[in-house]
Structure 1
């Protein structure tokens, strides 16, 4: 019989043919230091041994719900939101690993910050079975919503969300394979965001992931989401400006740095007029983008250095010294190589 006492957290994990890494993912949740949770696993029409693996644990905190056919991740997530009984919903993917204190730390933060509807954390990459680099997102609400102008602001498998917020605004079912980016832009006007700087999840990268198999569709859908969000905040954006903005967001090599810098400077001016975001924070985040644009395009040699320094943006973001020195050296060497060619 199902307990009448609602758990504090619903851990929500969709699964579709995930047997390769599923056992480790499930065990990482069962090993949490925070124990007041239900583990809601939505099997989305798996044809491998995923359901048998889940059943083999025999842990009463696990709730296995199954679709007889594959309906897609968004359907599974929204079904999970409808079924969730916890005050919070913590996302989990079937190929990742949550560190033992993940839920404890995230619940403590959400309890202490009732204004925050969604928060996430840093994550560390697992590639070919080995731990690689750590990835972080900005921490505070304004920075996160500025980040959405360019890309997603959360690592999806790290988030914890207030159930009341997401029951009211569930995942949108259009633009598949970018459902998280789409979701955050919808929630941006509904609640506050935050990220913990701690690394609480190990994220596994492998060839079977949707991000590997559907890269072109993801890029096109991300462009549609980005354009919609940008136009809602700055409706005067032109088609040419939007294309430049996409190239900046995608951190493309070969972009026109002059156009990129001019657009970022113009965007700063628009924000100062509209006061969509705090001007000082927006200026710093635009300057960060400018640094990444130039760092990616050292193939122009000394010209890259000159263009970088010609914009007032370079004075508002200071990259780590060793990264700047590396950037400088690459501009010199790439420029010489270009001349030789």
Structure 2
């Protein structure tokens, strides 16, 4: 019998986390699912760790060589039996009612193709914070047709709180395997341009902010990122243009922090300054020592559960 959900877990060097991630799936109140772990040629004991899980729901697909996060997700999608694909990174965790909430969203909004919930950010010492996104301005459950307008802050959902009807990939394509940093941004643009988002503001996922081998914690270097220019043309709506410039701003700050000034200038030059708020304009123009100081101050307060941001 075909499962309702196919859960895709890309796995690369997450030996300290993946067992708890898998257990958070097996402990779900909604049990009509399969789990596909795509083992992406880990160099630690991740494969041995997951082999201790004895469940008919869990299958493992091994890549012969490391192919990256997008390729791992695509492998899972292409092997999925369910009509809905739920993603879980191997260092994140679901609260027990997460899949049940997604199931209820699919029944409440049968026209929906993209589904998500809010999440909690998990920092060291078990500090959890709600993201500074616009979920607070939404109803408990809603059909969002203005995704780009309300996403000029921290994301409404993280990769592990996102579920996609399998048919969506026939329309917008799979994850771009050439992108090695921020691949979710590329897919989110393509998917949310075509389909509305069905959303629950309940924070039912714990999103690990710092873990070993976490892509978002590593240097951009020469990694391929989303090609924002590919989406930015004369027919692009103003809301999408603002969204693109918001993410250009984020990437520009990354480049400046790494002293990659050529990439920083190129990214900055693509931004229409009017699409940034005053704080963001100041930070974009700030010298690197000031940015480093601000980063240290923010990190200090994050350890105390206090967050400052430029998103408002």
TM-score by length of 2: 0.72
SS of aligned partner of 2:193: coil
2: distance between equivalents of 1:177 and 1:251?
A: 13
Identify the residue that residue 203 of structure 1 maps to in structure 2: 207
Equivalent pair of 2:133/2:155 in contact (CA under 8 Å):
no
Alignment of 1:134 with 2:134, yes or no, is: no
2: distance between equivalents of 1:242 and 1:38?
A: 34
SS of aligned partner of 1:144: coil
Identify the residue that residue 293 of structure 1 maps to in structure 2: 280
Identify the residue that residue 172 of structure 1 maps to in structure 2: 176
Identify the residue that residue 116 of structure 1 maps to in structure 2: 112
Task: Write the mapping of 1:181-260 to structure 2, written as runs, cut at 5 A.
Answer: 181-204=185-208, 205-216=210-221, 221-222=225-226, 224=227, 226-231=228-233, 233-234=235-236
The structure with more helix, counted as a fraction of residues: 1
CA-CA distance at 1:215 after TM superposition: 3.5
CA-CA distance at 1:149 after TM superposition: 7.7
> What is the RMSD computed on CA atoms of the aligned residues?
3.9
With a CA cutoff of 8 Å and minimum separation of 6, indicate the structure with the bigger relative contact order.
Answer: 2
Alignment of 1:81 with 2:57, yes or no, is: no
1: distance between equivalents of 2:4 and 2:132?
A: 26
Number of residue equivalences: 266
Equivalent pair of 2:12/2:40 in contact (CA under 8 Å):
yes
CA-CA distance at 1:133 after TM superposition: 1.1
Equivalent pair of 1:207/1:213 in contact (CA under 8 Å):
no
Alignment of 1:162 with 2:165, yes or no, is: yes
Query: Which has the larger displacement, 127-136 or 81-90?
Result: 127-136
Identify the residue that residue 22 of structure 1 maps to in structure 2: 18
CA-CA distance at 1:250 after TM superposition: 6.1
CA-CA distance at 1:156 after TM superposition: 1.2
SS of aligned partner of 2:232: helix
Structure 1: where are the runs of 5+ without partners?
255-261, 265-285, 300-322, 328-341
CA-CA distance at 1:103 after TM superposition: 0.4
Equivalent pair of 2:132/2:153 in contact (CA under 8 Å):
no
Change (3 A) 1:194 1:263: farther
2: distance between equivalents of 1:190 and 1:202?
A: 28
What do residues 24-68 of structure 1 show as CA deviations (whole Å, max 9, x unaligned)?
Answer: 111000000000000111101123221222121111110111112
Equivalent pair of 2:273/2:281 in contact (CA under 8 Å):
no
Identify the residue that residue 259 of structure 1 maps to in structure 2: none
SS of aligned partner of 1:11: strand
Larger radius of gyration: 1
CA-CA distance at 1:291 after TM superposition: 6.4
Change (3 A) 1:104 1:242: closer
SS of aligned partner of 2:157: coil
Change (3 A) 1:153 1:166: farther
Structure 2: where are the runs of 5+ without partners?
136-142, 257-271, 287-306
Identify the residue that residue 50 of structure 1 maps to in structure 2: 46
2: distance between equivalents of 1:244 and 1:6?
A: 42
